[in-house]
Amino acid sequence: MSELCLKLNRFQFLLGSMVAIWCGNFIALKVCLRVMSPVAVTAFRVIAAAALLFLIQRYSPGRYDFDKLRKTDFLFFLKLAFVGLLLNQVLFISGLKFTTVAHSALVVTLGPLFTLLFAWRRGQEKLTPTNLFGMALSIFGIFCLNLDKGLKLQTAYLFGDLLTLGGSVAFAYYTVMSKNVAAQYGSVSATTFTYLAGACVFLPVGLPALVTLPWLELPWAVLIAFVYVAVLSSVLAPLIFYYALRHIPASRLAALTYLQPVVTTISSVLILSEKLTLNFILGGSIVLAGILLTQRSGRSRQVVQESHGSANVASVQRGKSRSFLTRLREDP
């Protein structure tokens, strides 16, 4: 087998691992919530990940040194941590406490839609009638998730779904805010600085719960869930994400998030014994249809813009494919 084939197989394995980690994160967090509050779980996740990222960043080649940071940089990363870690993670994990894993995984996929809205507000994207219709369809699908057999709105999971939706809005704003951060500070350093700022925020809030929790008395399954959340979900998955982003466009990488509801739902049924209802299948189909409609509209517009002035669109696509293989061949 050639060296390029080996690198391609490794790249595909990493992408598959990243998706698997994303999906397992919902189940691991659900297990952690059995023994700790949402705020405490978030504090543990951020503080533990900050410590690991600090060690990784310290020995990373080409890192952005701490002594180069100015006061404005500190304030900016505190703002990123407030939106991307405090608001996003607290709302997301709190929502997971009041809803099912399957519901949460589906609601999270709405993130790209809100990212599009914030990017439009900043003049980075354009909205079309198709975009707006797709967004409205997805929001309608969320309410369909919470209908009973008599088509009446049930509130058992609605509160958790709305909290998760708020977390998706916060993460979308965080994504738009951090658009050029990785290019300026480097992927590892930018992630480390954000988590360190978040640790400063969460340390006084989460430290009492972390100290008083009887760690030695917890079952192995719970301890493994905490390690999973801190190491795999908060450190390994983001590093794979940034590595993959060097080789393929963000739109293609973001498309992998559409696998989350399917894989996570199957896992939650098998592992947590959650029930798969008809209204979930109906509402989930509507949500995914709206998301795909919005994303398809955006991709179609992007292809037209990229191929403007080109005699052959196919040659553009072949060029992109060759550039991907070239980048992968040159990667160590």
The residue whose two tokens read 């705020």 is 39
- State which H helix or E strand residue 276 sits in: none
Give the CA-trace dihedral at 289, 27, 147, 135, to 10 degrees: -30
pLDDT score at 50: 92
pLDDT score at 296: 65
Domain ranges of the chain: 3-330
CA separation for the pair 233, 224 (Å, rounded): 12
pLDDT score at 321: 47
The encoded tokens of residue 319 equal 């060029």
Segment-wise mean pLDDT, segments of 10 residues, the chain, 332 residues:
69 81 88 90 91 87 76 86 88 88 78 77 74 78 64 69 88 77 76 88 85 90 93 86 66 61 73 73 78 63 45 44 53 56
H helix intervals, 59-157: 71-81, 88-97, 101-108, 111-121, 129-145
pLDDT score at 310: 42
Of the candidates 109, 107, 111, which has an alpha carbon nearest to the alpha carbon of residue 157? 107
Tell me how far CA of residue 185 lies from CA of 64, 188, 190, in angstroms.
Answer: 6, 8, 6
Burial of 115: CB neighbours in 10 Å, binned 0-12, 13-18, 19+: buried
pLDDT score at 254: 59
CA separation for the pair 292, 203 (Å, rounded): 39
Are 292 and 114 in contact by the 8 Å Cβ rule? The answer is no
pLDDT score at 112: 72
Give the CA-trace dihedral at 191, 247, 291, 103, to 10 degrees: -50
CA separation for the pair 192, 21 (Å, rounded): 20
147: which strand partners?
153
Tell me how far CA of residue 113 lies from CA of 22, 172, 193, 305, in angstroms.
Answer: 19, 8, 27, 20
pLDDT score at 306: 43
The residue whose two tokens read 């002594």 is 67
Are 78 and 195 in contact by the 8 Å Cβ rule? The answer is no
Question: What are φ and ψ of residue 80, in 5° steps?
Answer: -60, -45
CA separation for the pair 89, 45 (Å, rounded): 9
Are 63 and 189 in contact by the 8 Å Cβ rule? The answer is yes
Asked whether the CA dihedral 296, 298, 301, 305 is positive or negative, the reply is: negative
Are 260 and 23 in contact by the 8 Å Cβ rule? The answer is yes
Asked whether the CA dihedral 283, 287, 292, 294 is positive or negative, the reply is: positive
Query: How many residues make up the chain in this entry?
Result: 332
Would you give the distance in Å from CA 321 to the centre of its chain? Answer: 26
pLDDT score at 320: 46
CA separation for the pair 187, 172 (Å, rounded): 18
pLDDT score at 222: 93
Sequence-distant (6+) residues with CB within 8 A of 179 are 124
Question: What are φ and ψ of residue 153, in 5° steps?
Answer: -70, 125
